[in-house]
Amino acid sequence: MLMSTTQEPTGTTEKPKRDSAALLQQLTTESQNEASQGLDTKSALEIARIINHEDSKVAAAVKKALPEIAQVIDQVARSLRDGGRLIYVGAGSSGRIAALDSSECPPTYSTVPGQVQYIMAGGPKALASAVEVNEDSEELGQRDIARRRPTRKDVVIGLSASGRTPYVVAAVAYARARGAKTAAVTCNYDTPLASAADIAIVADVGPEVISGSTRMKAGTAQKMVLNMITTGTMTRLGYVYENLMVNVHMQNSKLVERGIRILMRACNIDRETAVNTIKSAGRSVPVALVMLKAKVDKPEAVRRLAKSDGNVRLAIEDTVLEL
């Protein structure tokens, strides 16, 4: 059963017992998958079918963690509303997935720079080149999160398919000790990372088609979880209206066109009206939407959005955001 952890925070992590062989044998993500036995003797189509069949199990594994994911969504929404940050910490594939999710928040939801961040073992260069040795260092994990100065306003989420990556475990434990809310995203039960965090999200996807290749099912599961966390957070904050990306940052022609189409759909108006309203709203889709839906001018729309902390629906209704 998945559950929140209640362990008191400490400033350091316990030194793990270094029986690597024994530890690996206990991890389902490192086990051999019977469904892919003899993979090297299969045709291309057979290989694709086996991988596809295994991938079909990922959504069901993530589904079991929905209560914990919902807890994290609400916590992150409260944090960002109150001026805090979401900080991901990962290594290897997990770190790259974290980097992808955080980098897509500004263009999708116009988040403020630094509002959603990532920390990668080995630094930015590890995004393109493997620097896996860094993930074994607790000291580097603590050092890198310490540089971000986590506080009670922040949420720090550690990602590790194994749940045992020393770099990530140490970073999460450090952040928790300093009052930050913490969560773990992992694919194994009863792990040091889960124990270090306030909330454990476990997507038990089982053995990989290629034993230990956690960029596969485990990576897909982690990407799905992060999609839910940031999409759910931004929706709870009101940066989504109905199911439309109304906080889109219109910095290129594609995004400008998307903003126009969003306004046309949301308000059932023609293109010319949408273009003119966006111009008069200072190229802001939320301001334009509030102007049209509430039948107010730009200053009033801006006032309402400020009052609702950017929640478009509440700005239209002129009510206050509560989380």
The separation between CA 23 and the C-alpha centre of its own chain, rounded to angstroms, equals 27
∠ Cα 265 271 273 (to 5°): 95
Q: Which two tokens stand for residue 256?
A: 């400008």
Q: What is the dihedral of CA 222, 157, 172, 198, to 10 degrees?
A: -100
Close Cβ partners of 96 (under 8 Å, ≥ 6 residues apart): 90, 120, 127
In angstroms, what CA-CA distances link 95 with 147, 239, 286, 318? Answer: 17, 26, 32, 40
Q: Which two tokens stand for residue 203?
A: 């997507």
Determine contact, residues 91/120, Cβ cutoff 8 Å. Answer: yes
| Residue positions annotated with a catalytic role | 104, 135
What is the side-by-side strand order in the sheet with 86-90? Answer: 116-120, 86-90, 155-159, 181-186, 199-202
What SS3 class is residue 164? coil
DSSP-assigned letters across all residues of 30-68: GSPPGGGTTGGGS-HHHHHHHHHHHHTTHHHHHHTTHHH
Q: Rounded CA gap, 289 and 62, in Å?
A: 35
In angstroms, what CA-CA distances link 199 with 148, 176, 262, 266? Answer: 21, 11, 36, 36
